[in-house]
Structures are given as structure tokens and as C-alpha cells.
Copies of this chain bind each other. A is one copy, B any other.
Amino acid sequence: MPRWEPNALERLHTAAIELFAEQGYDATTAAGIAERAGLAKSTFFRHFPDKREVLFFGQEALNGLLAAVVADAPADATPLEAVGAALEATGVAFGPQRWEAVRRRQEIIDAHPELRERELLKREAMTGTMATALRGRGVPEPVASLAAQLGDLALARAYTRWLDPASTSAFGELTRQALDELRSAAAALG
């Protein structure tokens, strides 16, 4: 019976980012990540199918959060208001204490096309999650997909700005700004 390891997921995630940064992504193995985390290799594979997935730990929880906040938005909230509330809620995952780790993680992803591909798949799943939650509120297509897509663009823009060392705004505030800009841009497309 597998032993319960406290915080195994976070420990593996942190160890992976350290090793990827120290010795490179290609030279790092799942066994090496487990060792750095002080865990058995079998523990690694109980949680992740491969070393690529470790970098996307937390994505499912994020999707669950987005779906829940969209669903729980007030009945009279517009689709973009519901999406905006969901984006703002993701700020819990992007506090100042996580900035350095998030920045290093993104550098690794940007340097490896296979990780960029995986990242796009995760983004698509996230956009799909928001669109599904909006349809659950009775928002018709293609409005639901479009609102979710605006949410995806806003999140990407907020994320890029948040990673800018010159920025001092909180993540939630950046998502509000980005979504407002996109709302204006959508109106201008007329």
C-alpha cells in the first residue's frame, strides 16, 4: 500500500523547477526529480505520467475554480462579468511569494516547444471549462465560446504583465484591467 507523503505534489513540482533550471530540462529525469524531493520514483509516477506534466500541476484545481466561480456568479451577471469574477479568483495562485517560481517555470516552458504545446493544450482546456460553465448559465453559442476566449486572452495578458519585474499590481487587478481593455476592443470591432 502506498505510503502517504505530505505535500508530495508541491514537493515534486518545486524539485522539478529547481532541477530544470540547474541542469536543464532534457537532462532531468523523473527519478532525479523524485530524489530531489526526497520521494520514491514510484511516488512520482503515482502523481504524474511524465516529467512534462509536473510543470502543469495545479491546472485542474484552477479549472475547477474557474468553473465554480462562473457558475456561482449572480444570476444577472453578464457573461463577461462572470468570466471576470473567475479570472480575479485565480489571483490566489499568483501571490508575490510565488512570483520567482512562476517566472522560472515560464522560462523553462518558453524554451521547449514540447512544453509550449502542452501549455496550449492546458489553455484550451481552461477556455473550454469557462465556455461550458457559461453554457450552464444559459449563455448561448457562440457568445459563451467568445466570452471564454476573451477570458483566455485577458488571463494571458495579465500573466505577462504580472511577470514583468517592473509591474507592482496584484494579479487580480491585472486581470480586471486586461478584460476591460478587451471588452472595449470587442465593442470597437463593431
Q: Which residues of A contact B (CB under 8 A)?
A: 78-80, 113-114, 116-118, 120-121, 124, 142-143, 145-147, 149-150, 153, 157, 178, 181-183, 185-190
Contacts and interface: CB of A to CB of B under 8 A. Distances in A.
Main secondary structure on chain A at its contact with chain B? Answer: helix
19 contacts: A78-B189, A79-B189, A113-B121, A114-B117, A120-B120, A120-B121, A142-B153, A142-B157, A143-B185, A143-B188, A143-B189, A145-B153, A146-B186, A147-B189, A149-B149, A150-B189, A186-B187, A186-B189, A187-B189
A133 to B, nearest CB: 16
A146 B80 contact: no
B187 A190 contact: yes
A56 to B, nearest CB: 12
Contact of A189 (B80, B113, B116, B188): B80
Contacts of A185: 142-143, 146
The 8 closest A-B pairs by CB, nearest first: A117-B117, A120-B120, A186-B186, A143-B185, A146-B185, A142-B185, A117-B121, A186-B189
A80 B173 CA distance: 29
A184 to B, nearest CB: 9
Contacts of A78: 189-190
Contacts of A118: 117
A157 B141 CA distance: 11
A185 B181 CA distance: 17
Contacts of A183: 189-190
A124 to B, nearest CB: 6
Contacts of A113: 121
